[in-house]
Structure 1
């Protein structure tokens, strides 16, 4: 990286920080380690503006989703993507909550999948031929994603009807059927004990794995909260940790010990990255660990972090007051109600 930087400084082009950063970028999906390091260094010291690399990647993802749609149906998918982007620009100007890139990507993926289903399984090559039976058949292919898919299809056909692509909205009158409560999987108590012993008393677990597992298992911490946890969020005197919007009570001894192991691993890397979890890729910059890295740490054990979080929330909500759980974890009271089971534990009933 130093040799490459030296060649850039001696190539006869302007060497002010912004021009240097632009020339250091590589073409393609990755701008290169040198450009990432220069971007972190120069933007941190207010010498240059951040690159538009994230916007370019998002534009590439949208283009690939649009091009994957069947050719006769592709122009309307492109127009729908443009309308989503215009709506996001209006939201940014108005100061309201705009759609994130991941939300737009998911919406385009659902419309792309429906376009493929319409041509491959229904033999229809025009949006105007889609009817309610086609949509019901498409939603039946993935029952768990029915609500999300139906919401996106409603948005698309409202857009299509307003632009005279279809005469009638085929999603009108469709209802989201299925339970509205928690339908996910949980971890058995015996398995929880095995994982707890591995992460607290075992020596084989990686510090990142142990930290994510313990915080999710005991404190219902999400992957995003652990991923963005910074060193300045810790209070060694009071042994508190700032996780999202939740209050900051002292950690239990087991969790604090696991956190210290992770901090000791971070010290070995000799990094200026402010986050607690630092990888080989992020130790030279200041960005948080990637979402993919965090979400796959617990893959060898078949227990995703989300499952551990849901297990803890379901247990606490059905044991304590849901409002107290919401206050303890910085959640809305409505968010905890989905974990409330519609049954009574027979062991808690008084004897006849």
Structure 2
């Protein structure tokens, strides 16, 4: 990324694409001869003996003296000798000088009239509302197929919508093309709007899909006007109906009530994360289908049936199934759907954890090579150097980064910033400013979609660069914590203090590190630790 600099010909300051500004590059292309300028005595591209900067200064002096360019016939034939240049007016790149009394351009480069900002408008005054006799869907086929806007001056509702769209565009940094598309959709929807009418999200999505415009921004404007009605079927209901197909009515009603309580919350229970609801049902669904073939209700399921289902599974699958069934039967007991909780006093046993293994150097090198963009390299460094989780990387804000003091706040903990992270952060912030200069998103990582919003990026976008590789973000984070445990001899207190992890997790990493160190000591003839045996130099980020 080329930073701000000065043009070597006209000395204009700005963010240039090379050594010269665009105007000097065009001037040099039209006048390829290089010679000594008669005005400033510099050797560069000249036109009739003078460089572009001297010609520009002569125009400024002529405008100040009241002379208009092109009134002298000798000037038109290139025979005019400029007055001695005593000084040059410095200026910024792409900021063309215009007289205060000069005309304002009313047309763009294509000759079309320039669009002016809509006048401020507020909500229309409504004296009374005529209730509809019956509801009928609107048909926008004729308007969509035609390229012209609906004729006639904008009504009060459309004027208010345009004003709100302009305010939101300035606050969120919308691209002009996005604002034009939103204006077109609002014109179609609100040209004949009358008080009492509402617009559904299904109508907006159908219209925007035909015209190739994003529907989210239109919905935001109409939501501010209280005209939007969400007629979509919730995705949770569709998913629940599809998953519970095949269960007997008695079991299905109890399971559906349990899942809705987990998703929406109850009188004395909080709502759970949608991923928790999804995991609970997926773990318990095979057992529920097996019981549906024999029983008509959950009250017929006995303790022996549950133990038989648990015995058919091992390890983590057994524990996850028991946790889901405990939640189901506890809810059914509380709501008096069943008489007795059949999962009481059923123990899973102690989980046996495996030993973490360090990542292979080739896998790490492939992950570094796959991170080609500044955002992907920054995400890689946060996971591999600072052991940050994906959820923690997504919610990092601009206020959490202090480049001057070289500090970064991850999950509420202040961490020192190493040279690699500092360099990658500067590269990403420069690209962020260059690509989305008007965005108001407070999060550190943004993309094309979230640049016009105020929310974080998605988990899929964060993991996209390393998807399909052996060294994922979670693997790099785990490898970083294991490396710290191996370096400090398996001290769990040190791991908990550095990374802010739970005590049980720190003990698990410390135990794994001690096992790896003991195995390395048994094979002392190979030399080195398990992480350095047979390793070749790689491009992996170093420790902070």
- 8 A Cα contact 2:484 2:495, kept in partner: yes
- 8 A Cα contact 1:186 1:307, kept in partner: no
Distance 1:13 1:187 in 2: 67
Segments of 5+ residues of structure 2 without an aligned counterpart are 1-180, 525-544
* Residues 111-159 of structure 1 deviation map (CA, whole Å, 9 limit, x = unaligned): 4343124346xx4444234344543454444742332331121121123
User: Are 2:496 and 1:329 equivalent residues in the alignment?
Assistant: no
Distance 1:84 1:129 in 2: 23
Cα pair distance change 1:188/1:332, threshold 3 Å = closer
* Residues 251-293 of structure 1 deviation map (CA, whole Å, 9 limit, x = unaligned): 2112222233333443343244332322233233222111222
Residue among 295, 299, 303 paired with 1:128: 299
In the TM superposition, residue 187 of structure 1 has moved relative to its aligned partner by 4.1
Q: Give the TM-score taking structure 1 as reference length.
A: 0.75
- 8 A Cα contact 2:445 2:456, kept in partner: yes
* Residues 304-323 of structure 1 deviation map (CA, whole Å, 9 limit, x = unaligned): 32222122223323543322
User: Are 2:275 and 1:102 equivalent residues in the alignment?
Assistant: yes
Distance 1:298 1:339 in 2: 24
In the other structure, the counterpart of 2:458 is 290
- 8 A Cα contact 1:9 1:15, kept in partner: no
Distance 1:60 1:177 in 2: 37
* Residues 79-110 of structure 1 deviation map (CA, whole Å, 9 limit, x = unaligned): 22344357445456xxxxx5233323333343
User: Are 2:485 and 1:317 equivalent residues in the alignment?
Assistant: yes
Between Structure 1 and Structure 2, which shows a larger proportion of helix residues? 1
User: Are 2:184 and 1:11 equivalent residues in the alignment?
Assistant: no
In the TM superposition, residue 4 of structure 1 has moved relative to its aligned partner by 0.9
In the TM superposition, residue 223 of structure 1 has moved relative to its aligned partner by 0.3
- 8 A Cα contact 1:157 1:170, kept in partner: yes
Distance 1:72 1:235 in 2: 58
In the other structure, the counterpart of 1:257 is 423
Moved more, 52-61 or 125-134: 52-61
Cα pair distance change 1:51/1:134, threshold 3 Å = farther
- 8 A Cα contact 2:390 2:462, kept in partner: yes
Cα pair distance change 1:310/1:240, threshold 3 Å = same
In the other structure, the counterpart of 2:404 is 237
Distance 2:433 2:410 in 1: 21
1:62-141 alignment to 2 at 5 Å?
62-67=240-245, 69-84=247-262, 87-88=265-266, 90-91=268-269, 98-119=271-292, 123-139=294-310, 140-141=312-313
Q: Secondary structure at the match of 1:297?
A: helix
In the other structure, the counterpart of 2:444 is 276
- 8 A Cα contact 1:296 1:304, kept in partner: no
1:80-229 alignment to 2 at 5 Å?
80-84=258-262, 87-88=265-266, 90-91=268-269, 98-119=271-292, 123-139=294-310, 140-141=312-313, 143-179=315-351, 181=353, 183=354, 186-191=357-362, 193-195=364-366, 198=369, 205-229=372-396
Supply the RMSD in Å over aligned alpha carbons.
4.0
- 8 A Cα contact 1:233 1:242, kept in partner: yes
- 8 A Cα contact 1:228 1:275, kept in partner: yes
Q: Secondary structure at the match of 1:247?
A: strand
Q: Secondary structure at the match of 1:242?
A: strand
- 8 A Cα contact 2:186 2:218, kept in partner: no
In the other structure, the counterpart of 1:301 is 469
- 8 A Cα contact 1:186 1:310, kept in partner: no
In the other structure, the counterpart of 1:95 is none
Question: How many residues in Structure 1 have an aligned counterpart in Structure 2?
Answer: 330
Distance 1:239 1:319 in 2: 24
Q: Give the TM-score taking structure 2 as reference length.
A: 0.51
